Amino acid sequence: MPICFKDSWLTIGKHKVSRLSLFSYIMDWALYLAILIGFMIYGSLVPPVYHEFLLEDISLMNSYKPEGMTLVPMPVLILIAVVFPMLQIILCSVLQTNTLHSTRKVWDIFIGMTSLCGAMSIQLMMTCILKNICGLPRPDLISRCDPDYSIDFVSGRLATVDVCQSPDLVLVSEGFRSFPSGHSSTVFCGMILASLNISAKLQIFDSRGVSLKFLLVIIPIMIACFVSCSRISDNRHFLRDVIGGLAIGAGSAIFFYLQYFPWITKLENCGRAYPPRRIGVSVWCNNIGGFWKINDKLDGSYQERCLNDVSIIELIKKVDCEFSIDSTEFIQTDRNIEYFNRLSEKFKHRIFNISNKQRATNTNYV
């Protein structure tokens, strides 16, 4: 049996906004930020599992470089992997063709930021957990550890962290967080998301083969490859660590892009985000949830399952013979919410499908 929620609205400036929809996006941000902050603390305070290692292992004898001497220190990583995608999201939305309504531009920026925040939070969570669970040594572990070879040293026998005599416990602990590469997962997350957004906005798969568009799409990926490979040259990671970070970062970016945007081959959409989600109307959209239509002067955007669209009024009339709201009122947020609250109460035990996909056919309902 479908669950139906009664919606209400509030006024923000001159706009009336659905409370349920607003609350759902607030919950998105609260969840993502909680994961980000929580796992930043977790990664800093919780020590990893200290994997056994061989004191004679040449691959672990690389010299240690302080973070400031690496090619891409942490502040630069944040600039590349977070600030650059944020600027790209803003610029791509603002500079897109002027046939788009300002409301659409603002919405695309907000959703782009939401997808970036979500992807970053999940990749950080997976990276921190795997680093601590695996506890694999970095290429510069011996240099960090400064082992005491006089303590029961036997050639060929695996040693534990107990042989380390370095006074810097944080430095030693970080030496056991090799897999996966945090730089790699972070930069690929941000750059893949930026590349997808550019691909969709420039319609790279329009079958015309414009080389400049391809170059703009591939640049973020090239930057991600450079940053990731620098971790190998800086003696921080092995190739396996970089590949693992790449998979986590790219996978998180693609997953969250698809949560908020249609795929990049939907050319007529021009890289626009899905409309604002609507809560409590699943029974009217074949039990899969609906959307709010927003101002958008350019045709081709995703409008399926938008229940405040005048184009579905005829389908509504087939369900509700007493339909008495004119088209002007029907698209107003407050009047539309009032109407569907009454309609949901009237047909509380039935599931309908009055999505925009069904415009040309009869309404299906059970």
**pLDDT tens, residue by residue, 13-24:** 888 899 999 999
- What confidence category does residue 152 fall into, taking pLDDT thresholds of 50, 70 and 90? low
Q: Is 74 helix (H, G, I), strand (E, B) or coil?
A: helix
φ and ψ of 159, to 5 deg: -105, 165
Angle between helices 239-260 and 182-202 (to 10 degrees): 40
The winner for highest mean pLDDT among 138-152, 168-182, 283-297, 344-358 is 168-182
Q: Which residue is it, tokens 């790699």?
A: 184
Instruction: Name, in order, each residue with C-beta under 8 angstroms of 317's C-beta and a sequence gap of 6 or more.
Output: 323
**pLDDT tens, residue by residue, 186-228:** 999 999 999 999 999 999 998 888 889 899 999 999 999 999 9
- pLDDT reported for residue 247: 97
Q: What is the pTM of this model?
A: 0.90
Single out the residue of 344, 355, 250, 281 nearest to residue 311, CA to CA: 355
Single out the residue of 263, 268, 286, 276 nearest to residue 356, CA to CA: 286
Torsion sign (Cα): 219, 221, 224, 226: negative
pLDDT mean over 106-135: 96
Average pLDDT over the chain reads: 89
How far apart CA 139 and CA 116 sit, in angstroms, is 31
**pLDDT tens, residue by residue, 2-58:** 556 788 999 888 888 999 999 999 999 999 999 999 999 999 999 999 999 998 889
Residues in the chain: 366
Q: Is 189 helix (H, G, I), strand (E, B) or coil?
A: helix
